[in-house]
Structure 1
Amino acid sequence: MKLISNALFTSLIASGLLLTGCGGSSNSNTVSEVKWVEGEFIPYSQLANQCDADLREKLWLRSWSNDTYLWYSEIIDRDPAPYQVLEYFDYLKTENLSATGKPKDKFHYSMPTSEWEQLNQSGVSVGYGMSVYIQRRSDKTDRKVTVAYTEPNSQATSANIARGAVIVSVDGVSVKDASDTASIDIINKGLFPDDEGQETRFTIQDLGASQTRDVVLTAQAVVSTPVQNTKVLATPTGTIGYMQFNAHIATAERGLYDAVATLATARVDDLVLDLRYNGGGLLAMASQLGYMIAGQQATQDRIFENVSFNDKYPTKNPVTGETLTPRPFYDETFGFNPGLLAGGKSLPSLNLSRVFVLTTDRTCSASESLINSLRGIDVEVIQIGGTTCGKPYGFYPTPNCGTTYFSIQFKGVNDKGYGDYTDGFVPSSNPTLQSEVPGCDVADDFSHALGDKEESQLAAALYYRDNNSCPAQMAKASRTQAKPQFVDVGYILEDTRNQNILLNNRILTQPK
């Protein structure tokens, strides 16, 4: 499937990937007087970018949500007067529960537009270059913060911080014992700085060390490397490709292109795709990767994903105004970041009939769409790790008055019409449901480097490849495991900040 209107798409990318069609960013037809009237909605195009009045901003959010939100009819129409703008946005979502009793919408958030543009287009965010994983007991005590991976050429790597290091304290506050709001705020601010130049003192216990050490890190603009650790692993039964893929952001297109080209040259027999920390991003990139894994023959005339919006728009995309059509597996580059890779280049492919994916609950959104869409064209997916986050939904990041809003606008299904995995994809040795994927439930192993054949998830994938079953010791551990000492809580100690932007990000930015 060749791309069409690539020049137009490139221009959209250059403007920040912030697609706001149907008048979403125009205020040429503004209204002179506005007020809230229950059940009455001024077209949001008439309220956009009127940033000198909070009421207009809030009414823009209200009208935009009523028009484009997937579950618009489930939003309670509140008078916006008592609320601040961002506080009001938090209420513009469904409060209903899913069939399994969980919040129906877990993915409603916003961030400053300048930060979003910088992160999505250039992979830049403020920090130290280390991604951490946070656990605590179910009673919210005895926390543990572990470094999951680090970015090359960052403050973290300069300080010799590596995967498996445990952060014992932040600016003198014990991570394990913090309980009051002030202490938690100090830890959150230290772990997730807002401003460049912020200095934070960490007490760290390196993997295998008996003593702790103190390091002072200065927050800076960190350029993420979304594709890392591309390896060709020789085994007695064949050559295995391994690739760590952390985010479907613009800068990843070049990394994926180069990584797959390397593995194709090596003629790998199988691929282990490490998505354990990939919270999603551009669906078009997931489609590209699907093509690069499966190849032309398997993807030709097949659907990567069919998307649908709310019942106001059964045949039209409410954001772009385009007629809804099936989304194919894309076989060319887009030039998401043209300085790294131009558009219009044919993609390399591995032509594989199966793929091993490594997952955790931080595997989300576009990453899940990749899994689902490959299964939809009968590529065998073997899942090693933990249950994914469960997000068959997506959005167009929409800016207004300096803030970009992420509100669920569409849902997707694969070539076979399946997309009901709201509780995530579950690795199972005996799958009976469509959301259960053949594979092994294996915990993340912080005691080994990513890409190390001894790391538990990768080791299980290699074992499964040879034996078509999970390692015996893992099966035994699963049957006898007691309630875990720690529960995973993701990025933030408590609900005092928004989740990391790279988590739960599923963005439909594709050409016509």
Structure 2
Amino acid sequence: MHRNFIIVLCAILLLGNFSCSRKPIDINPINNNPKDSTTTIVPSKFLKENNWIYSQMKKYYLWEEAMPAEAKTDKYLEPIKYYKSLINDNQDWFSYMKSDKNDVLNFWLGTPVGYGFRYKTFKPDPLKDQIFLAISLVAQNSPAEKAGLYRADIIQKINGNTITENNILTLLAQPNIDITWLNTSNEIKNANIAKTGYKVKPIYDFRVIETGKQKIGYLAFTQFLHEIDPELRAVFGYFKNQKIDDFILDLRFNPGGFTPNAEVVGSLIVKNLNPNEKMFGGHMNKNQTLEAQSKPDGNKDGRNWTNETFNLNTLNRVFVITSKSTASSSELVINCLKPHMEVILIGDNTMGKSVISTIITDETGQLPLVLMPAYSTLENSRGEAIYARKEGFIPNYVVQDDVLPYYPIGNLNETLLKKTLQIINNTITADVIDANHYKVNFMDRLHHYDSLTPFVSN
């Protein structure tokens, strides 16, 4: 419980002068001086920030009716803690707040400031505190790539320090770091890398894989961004011209992003595309619903599929590679395809973010804060959102991506792609690990970002 900084001034009890006579002393003397008590309440130094947070959440938050009454909230809390005190924990594990709005805006615009690698952690010795970082993805044209870091490298030290659970975030928070890593040739490498801005290329890899008489399209897609629709259409045009028989969408690294871009991706894949048909819908809180209904198109029921020339159209099924880092718009695409074709998931459970979030900043520019609360539910054309749970979507084929060193993304021996191809070809075999690879127990299931963590407050 936080103090209200109450200052109480109490009068000192005076016992008076003692007489030299033998008259007995009253051991319970009457105090004729009344007790003076003055209370001063010091206003919270976060009052402006927390007032703004409450007003914005009351207006936009999907579960605003579950928020505590403003008078019952603790305005003495630091802003991020105050924000968390308003969240509906039973249904919401993804709304978050950051103290620097530029971090969030840059991330979701695809222009983050960071080192540019994703990682998973494990302990080389389970009895010790030391942890290693297995690099699972290196962003193209990022500082990490320019420094010579690749997927499958193992970072062993940062700034000469042994990495532990207690210091990893502090080490990675530095504007530049010296990293020591082991590459796939068992060579120790060292480099200094600095956080700089770079542009995400979400179309990480695409190719047509020929197995026997089959042509299989493969796309590794890492984030839904604005202004990349033309590039995506070109990729699907290539798949369509190649007359692929099956399609693999790799979303294991994809945290979501720009919802209209997800509409395009889904519309390029769905069987029997009909732009006049509803793709998804949902509902907002009462305040936003009334405001929307007051607009000319306020009664429109959801969003339709988009008209796509290079829609694959005839595929009866799609295979999606997933992980616990598969979230939001990625899950939206999966959910919207399900009523129209067979969607087969391979990998790990998804995050379970079945809502649209909205980015809220202070329009006056006085506060650097940014809120990203749940804004609207998401349901497919059948009104379904079965992934609205902490378990997310549960894969049809649970496959642990726990063999190191990793193969490159798109390599036919890469664990999840290899298993997906076996499923497609009905040639599933027991996994065999060769002498150059080994299994590890990762400490969690996420592909962490080096600098930014979507859906987690700082």
Q: Does 1:92 align with 2:86?
A: yes
Q: Does 1:500 align with 2:453?
A: yes
Match of 1:45 in 2: none
Alpha-carbon distance, 1:242 to partner: 0.9
Could you tell me which runs of 5 or more consecutive residues in structure 1 were left unpaired when the two chains were aligned.
1-52, 99-103, 191-197, 333-345, 427-434, 478-482, 506-512
Q: Structure 1's 250 and 135: CA in aligned 2 closer, same or farther, altered over 3 A?
A: farther
TM-score (norm 2): 0.77
Counting matched residue pairs gives: 399
CA distance in 2: counterparts of 1:492 and 1:132, whole angstroms = 5
Q: Does 1:214 align with 2:190?
A: yes
Q: Deviations over 1:370-429 (max 9, x none)?
A: 1010002x2111111111111112222111133321011211111111113133677xxx
CA RMSD of aligned residues (A): 3.3
Structure 1 contact 173–186 (Cα < 8 Å) conserved: no
Match of 1:370 in 2: 333
> Which region of structure 1 is more displaced relative to structure 2, 309-318 or 230-239?
309-318
Write the mapping of 1:356-505 to structure 2, written as runs, cut at 5 A: 356-376=319-339, 378-400=340-362, 401-423=367-389, 435-443=393-401, 446-467=405-426, 471-473=428-430, 485-488=441-444, 490=446, 500-501=453-454
Alpha-carbon distance, 1:267 to partner: 1.8
TM-score (norm 1): 0.70
Runs of 4+ with deviation above 6 angstroms: 137-140, 318-321
Match of 2:75 in 1: 81
- The code of the aligned residue for 1:218 comes to A
Structure 1 contact 134–490 (Cα < 8 Å) conserved: no
Structure 2 contact 133–155 (Cα < 8 Å) conserved: yes
> Which region of structure 1 is more displaced relative to structure 2, 249-258 or 458-467?
249-258
Q: Equivalent residue of 2:273, what SS?
A: helix
Q: Does 1:159 align with 2:147?
A: yes
Alpha-carbon distance, 1:347 to partner: 4.7
Match of 1:203 in 2: 180
CA distance in 1: counterparts of 2:50 and 2:161, whole angstroms = 38
Alpha-carbon distance, 1:79 to partner: 4.0
CA distance in 1: counterparts of 2:294 and 2:228, whole angstroms = 25
Q: Deviations over 1:150-185 (max 9, x none)?
A: 12233322332111101101111112xx25x4x344
Match of 2:281 in 1: 306
Structure 1 contact 391–504 (Cα < 8 Å) conserved: no
Q: Equivalent residue of 1:223, what SS?
A: coil
Alpha-carbon distance, 1:114 to partner: 3.1
Q: Deviations over 1:211-238 (max 9, x none)?
A: 4221111222111111121111111131
- The code of the aligned residue for 1:69 comes to Y
Structure 2 contact 277–305 (Cα < 8 Å) conserved: no
Q: Structure 1's 322 and 114: CA in aligned 2 closer, same or farther, altered over 3 A?
A: farther
- The code of the aligned residue for 2:370 comes to T
- The code of the aligned residue for 1:172 comes to G
Alpha-carbon distance, 1:313 to partner: 5.3
CA distance in 1: counterparts of 2:298 and 2:267, whole angstroms = 24
Sequence identity of aligned pairs in percent? Answer: 20
CA distance in 1: counterparts of 2:325 and 2:74, whole angstroms = 34
Q: Deviations over 1:256-294 (max 9, x none)?
A: 222212222222111111100000012221111111012
Match of 2:247 in 1: 271
Please identify the structure whose Cα radius of gyration is greater.
2
CA distance in 2: counterparts of 1:273 and 1:466, whole angstroms = 17
Match of 2:172 in 1: 188
Could you tell me which runs of 5 or more consecutive residues in structure 2 were left unpaired when the two chains were aligned.
1-44, 434-438
CA distance in 2: counterparts of 1:110 and 1:186, whole angstroms = 17
CA distance in 1: counterparts of 2:113 and 2:283, whole angstroms = 35
* 2:61 corresponds to which of 44, 69, 75: 69
Structure 1 contact 381–437 (Cα < 8 Å) conserved: no
Structure 1 contact 168–174 (Cα < 8 Å) conserved: yes
Q: Structure 1's 242 and 444: CA in aligned 2 closer, same or farther, altered over 3 A?
A: farther
CA distance in 1: counterparts of 2:251 and 2:373, whole angstroms = 24
Q: Structure 1's 185 and 271: CA in aligned 2 closer, same or farther, altered over 3 A?
A: closer
Match of 1:24 in 2: none
- The code of the aligned residue for 1:406 comes to M
- The code of the aligned residue for 1:348 comes to F
* 2:131 corresponds to which of 127, 130, 143: 143
Q: Does 1:253 align with 2:206?
A: no
Q: Does 1:348 align with 2:310?
A: yes
CA distance in 2: counterparts of 1:311 and 1:396, whole angstroms = 16
CA distance in 2: counterparts of 1:61 and 1:498, whole angstroms = 25
Q: Equivalent residue of 1:350, what SS?
A: coil
- The code of the aligned residue for 1:394 comes to I
Q: Deviations over 1:26-52 (max 9, x none)?
A: xxxxxxxxxxxxxxxxxxxxxxxxxxx
Q: Does 1:325 align with 2:319?
A: no
